[in-house]
């Protein structure tokens, strides 16, 4: 087992899973909604990024050629398209699955059913329009690898890790510094108190759904550097995001980050063990999550909450 290769692979998985899990946790902790259409957001954003990248490729090649500037421009266009489409789809989810039912009884269950229906309908629409054939996104970080002595890592892995750190840093900065971010944090910490102080749940929910949709869109572009875009490509990231959010403690953003890192390392280590390999990655992952939740039903976030107290 090459320890450095396993470490880079683990951080790459943790980065992408973290974007999905944090979005799910943010939605639950701020507006009490479990978004089962997160996978549909992932797939739609991936297809939008593919369409725009395919359209812009000849234009960027003519303008910059096969240079570093051209690669950077393609990366910016692809990432921006994924984030923008994710945010727009998040706004659609807000309009369909939040506004009509947020003040009705059993909103969490109702929203789960509605978003699941949106997810199923979206997958079928993508299958009807694009067909089952997988699509390749451009390699926005290049196709080579960086060698530092005996250590080496692919550009797509380095790009995904660095991009995720920057994205999450900007999200946390926005949550701490902007007025709307402070309102969202107030909803996360004490929804009843936030409402009594004059914060509108109706209008706070829109930026939350758009932000989490944008995170799913960015995850689609980053993960599609190593896999393909297809109508069902969001299914596994949705499952991983939900399970990591549960492991971290549903509603706990630090717990989601910790859970993503743990699962990323667990998958990378199990996959690198010769007598186990990729066949046992899912088994080991879910077994670990089940054991943790049996011992600690509140997840890792519960441990962090107690440590703060």
pLDDT tens digit at each of 309 positions of the chain:
567 777 887 888 888 888 888 888 888 888 888 889 999 999 999 999 999 988 888 888 887 777 778 778 888 889 999 999 999 999 999 999 998 988 888 888 999 999 999 999 999 999 999 888 888 888 888 777 777 766 677 888 888 888 888 888 888 888 888 888 888 888 877 777 777 788 878 888 899 999 999 999 999 888 877 778 889 888 888 988 888 888 888 777 888 888 888 988 888 888 888 777 778 888 888 899 889 888 888 888 764 454 444
257 within 8 A of 169, measured Cβ to Cβ: no
What integer pLDDT is reported at residue 149 of this predicted model? 67
What integer pLDDT is reported at residue 306 of this predicted model? 47
Partners of 147 in beta bridges: 152
Give the H or E element holding residue 159: helix 155-177
What integer pLDDT is reported at residue 308 of this predicted model? 43
CA distance 242 to 110: 18
CA distance 114 to 42: 17
CATH of the domain at 188: 1.10.3470
What integer pLDDT is reported at residue 176 of this predicted model? 85
Residue 98 phi, psi (nearest 5): -120, -55
266 CB-side CA count, 13 A:
19
Q: In this structure, is the dihedral angle defined by the CA atoms of residues 101, 82, 122 and 282, taken in order, positive or negative?
A: negative
What integer pLDDT is reported at residue 213 of this predicted model? 94
Strand ranges for 78-226 from DSSP E:
145-148, 151-154
The helix-helix angle for 281-295 and 235-248 (nearest 10°) equals 30
Residue given tokens 């441990």 in the structure block? 303
Residue 154 phi, psi (nearest 5): -70, 150
C-beta pairs of 178-183 under 8 Å, 24+ apart in sequence: 180/204, 180/207
CA distance 76 to 140: 8
Domain range for residue 86?
A: 3-308
How buried is residue 240: exposed, middle or buried, by Cβ count under 10 Å (0-12/13-18/19+)?
A: buried
Give the pair of three-digit tokens for residue 46.
Answer: 């991936």
Model pTM score: 0.88
Give the pair of three-digit tokens for residue 124.
Answer: 């079928």
Q: In this structure, is the dihedral angle defined by the CA atoms of residues 279, 283, 284 and 285, taken in order, positive or negative?
A: positive
Domain count, the chain: 1
Give the pair of three-digit tokens for residue 61.
Answer: 């090649």
Residue given tokens 């946790």 in the structure block? 25
């Amino acid at each position: 087992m090459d320890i450095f290769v396993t470490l880079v692979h683990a951080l790459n998985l943790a980065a992408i899973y973290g974007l999905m899990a944090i979005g799910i946790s943010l939605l639950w902790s701020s507006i009490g909604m479990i978004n089962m259409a997160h996978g549909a957001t992932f797939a739609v954003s991936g297809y939008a990024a593919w369409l725009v990248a395919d359209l812009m490729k000849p234009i960027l090649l003519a303008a910059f050629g096969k240079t570093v500037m051209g690669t950077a421009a393609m990366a910016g266009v692809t990432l921006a398209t994924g984030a923008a489409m994710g945010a727009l789809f998040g706004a659609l989810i807000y309009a369909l699955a939040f506004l009509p039912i947020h003040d009705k009884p059993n909103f969490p269950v109702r929203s789960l059913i509605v978003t699941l229906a949106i997810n199923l309908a979206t997958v079928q629409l993508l299958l009807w329009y694009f067909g089952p054939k997988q699509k390749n996104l451009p390699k926005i970080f290049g196709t080579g690898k960086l060698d530092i002595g005996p250590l080496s890592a692919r550009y797509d892995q380095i790009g995904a890790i660095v991009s995720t750190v920057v994205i999450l840093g900007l999200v946390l900065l926005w949550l701490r510094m902007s007025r709307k971010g402070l309102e969202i944090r107030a909803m996360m910490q004490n929804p009843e108190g936030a409402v009594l102080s004059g914060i509108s749940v109706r209008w706070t929910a829109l930026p939350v759904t758009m932000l989490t949709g944008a995170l799913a869109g960015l995850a689609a572009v980053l993960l599609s550097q190593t896999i393909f875009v297809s109508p069902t490509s969001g299914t596994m990231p949705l499952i991983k995001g939900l399970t990591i959010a549960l492991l971290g403690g549903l509603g706990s953003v630090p717990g989601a980050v910790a859970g993503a890192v743990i699962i990323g390392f667990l998958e990378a280590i199990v996959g690198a063990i010769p007598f186990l390999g990729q066949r046992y990655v899912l088994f080991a992952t879910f077994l670990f999550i089940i054991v943790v939740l049996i011992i600690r039903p509140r997840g890792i976030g519960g441990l962090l909450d107690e440590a703060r107290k």
